[in-house]
Amino acid sequence: RRTAEALGELGCATVHEAIGRRGFAGPGIRPIQQGVRLAGPAVTVSSHPGDNLMIHAAVEVCEEGDVLVVAHTAPSTHGVFGELLATSLLARGVRALVTDAGVRDTAELRRMGFAVWSQYVSCQGTVKASAGSVNVPVVLGGVTVSPGDVVCADDDGVVVVGREEAAGALERGRERVSREDGTRARLAAGELGVDIYGLRATLETLGVEYVE
């Protein structure tokens, strides 16, 4: 869990680059709040559209620091999650919810400080009638999420890091931050990106000309 928390501190863009530009759940999964950056182990839910029974079932297995990931077997625009479920998850120390469906009570969720990344905001209600699965591999935005994978989330979106590669991702991410600190200082001193990154030869090869 400490590795997950440290990955969250790096931010999604850095983590995404560190693992070879993989794991991004796509631009459709967006935060309902701003300024929140976190990461935690995934507890996964496979649910039927318009049904949140399995979210209630998943609460029991959630632990402090987890991120609940709810994916659906078919597209769902329903508001599958609201402030009552958030209250239950907060009581267990869950860090956030990520879902490919909708959430409701967004103003209240923000007031409570419960972080959410979702595909939709929707007041459309649900039923509690269909069996699904908890802690099985699910697909979120085209990315497979297995239980225990690290889910990183911030204003830029959601990135999933496989559990077995989390430590390596953290090391590479920290190295990248260190390099960028050096580059930032050079840019601030007036150097140009085309020189720092050695791009003049690339521009010339591509036939790009400077016209006065």
Q: What pLDDT does 2 receive?
A: 84
Rg (CA), the chain: 20
Cβ–Cβ under 8 Å, residues 124 and 77: yes
- Do β-strands 150-154 and 157-161 pair in parallel, antiparallel, or remain unpaired? antiparallel
CA distances from 73 to 80, 131, 169 (A): 14, 11, 30
Mean pLDDT confidence for 65-73: 97
Distance CA 210, CA 204 (A): 10
Distance CA 208, CA 190 (A): 23
CB atoms near residue 3 (< 10 Å): 17
Q: What pLDDT does 95 receive?
A: 87
- Do β-strands 38-47 and 30-31 pair in parallel, antiparallel, or remain unpaired? unpaired
Statement: the pTM of the whole predicted model exceeds 0.85 = yes
Cβ–Cβ under 8 Å, residues 154 and 38: yes
Confidence of residue 212 (pLDDT cuts 50, 70, 90): confident
pLDDT digits (tens, 9 = 90+) for 32-49: 999 999 999 999 999 999
- With tokens 């999933």, the residue in question is 160
Q: What pLDDT does 83 receive?
A: 96
Name the strand (E) or helix (H) holding 205: helix 200-205
Mean pLDDT confidence for 186-206: 94
Query: Which residues, at least 6 apart from 72, have a Cβ–Cβ distance to it below 8 Å?
Result: 46, 47, 48, 49, 99, 100, 101
Say if residue 1's pLDDT is above 80. no
Say if residue 140's pLDDT is above 90. yes
